Structure 1
Amino acid sequence: KFSPPVSTDVKQVADNPKRRQRNARKQLQNSGVGTKSQQALQLQLEESKTERKQKSKEQKEAEKQRQFDLKQQKRKQKHRGH
C-alpha cells in the first residue's frame, strides 16, 4: 500500500539567456523548409534517397555473391583435373 501523495513546490530555475537564445535559433533552423509543397518535395527526395540506397545495397550484394560463385566455380575446376 502506498502513502498518500505529497505535493511539492517545483522551483523554476532561471534559464541562461545565451542558452535560451541558442535553443531558439536551433528551433528556427529545425523548422525546415517553409511551404508545404517544399516540404512534400523534401519528403519525396528523402524517400527516393532511401530507395536508391536500398537498391544499391542489393546490387552490391548480388555482385558480391556472383563474384563468390565464380571464384568457387574456378576452384572446383582446378581440382577436377584434366
Structure 2
Amino acid sequence: MNIKLTLFFDGIIWIGFFERSDLGNYAVSRVLFHTEPSNQEVLDYILQHYTELNFSSSISNTDGISVQRINPKRLQRLVQKEIKNVGIGTKAQQALKLDQEARKLQRKSLSKLKKDEVAEAKFHLRQKKKKEKQKGH
C-alpha cells in the first residue's frame, strides 16, 4: 500500500490530500488544516487520526504502480519533483468528484422518495375526506 500526502495553501486554509493506492485501487481523502502544519504536526496527525480518515470510494488505478525497489537517489529526485509540483493531482480531483457525484445521486433519490411519500399521504388524505363527505358525516 502506498500513501501520499499533498499539502497546499488555497489562499484561505491549508488543505491536505491523502492519496492511497494498493493493488490497482486508488482512493483519496481531504483534510483541512487551519494553520500551516509543521512536519511534526503532520506526523502526529497521521499517527493519531489516520484510521478516522474518510477515503472516497476506490477507483481502478491505471498507473500500474511497480512494487520494485527504487534507487534512493532516484526516489529523492522524485520527491523533489513532487514538492515543486504545485496543487493536487488530477487523479485525486477525479476521485473526489466521483465520490461527490455518488453522494449527490444518493441524496437526490432519497429526497425524491420522501417527496413521493408526502404526495401519496396527501392523496390518501384527500380521498379519505372525499369518502367521509359522501357518507354525510
TM class by shorter-chain length? Answer: 0.5 to 0.7
Q: Distance in 2 between matches of 1:80 and 1:32?
A: 70
Bigger relative contact order, structure 1 or 2 (CA pairs below 8 A, ≥6 apart): 2
- 78 and 69 in structure 1: CA distance in 2 versus 1, 3 angstrom threshold: same
| CA drift at 1:35 | 0.3
Unaligned runs of 5+ residues in structure 1 are 1-26
RMSD: 2.3
Matched, 1:31 2:60: yes
Unaligned runs of 5+ residues in structure 2 are 1-23, 26-58, 63-89
Q: Which residue of 2 aligns with 1:24?
A: none
| CA drift at 1:66 | 0.4
Aligned letter for 1:31? S
Q: Distance in 2 between matches of 1:41 and 1:59?
A: 27
After superposing on structure 2, the runs of 4+ consecutive aligned residues of structure 1 that deviate more than 3 Å are none
| CA drift at 1:32 | 6.2
Cα-to-partner distance string for 1:49-82 (whole Å, 9 max, x where unaligned): 000000000000000000000000000000017x
Q: Which residue of 1 aligns with 2:126?
A: 70
Q: Distance in 2 between matches of 1:32 and 1:68?
A: 51
Identity across aligned pairs (percent)?
A: 9
Alignment length (residue pairs): 54
Q: Distance in 1 between matches of 2:136 and 2:98?
A: 57
Matched, 1:43 2:99: yes
Aligned with 2:109 (options 45, 53, 61): 53
- Larger-gyration structure (1/2): 1
Bigger strand fraction: 2
Q: Distance in 2 between matches of 1:49 and 1:75?
A: 39
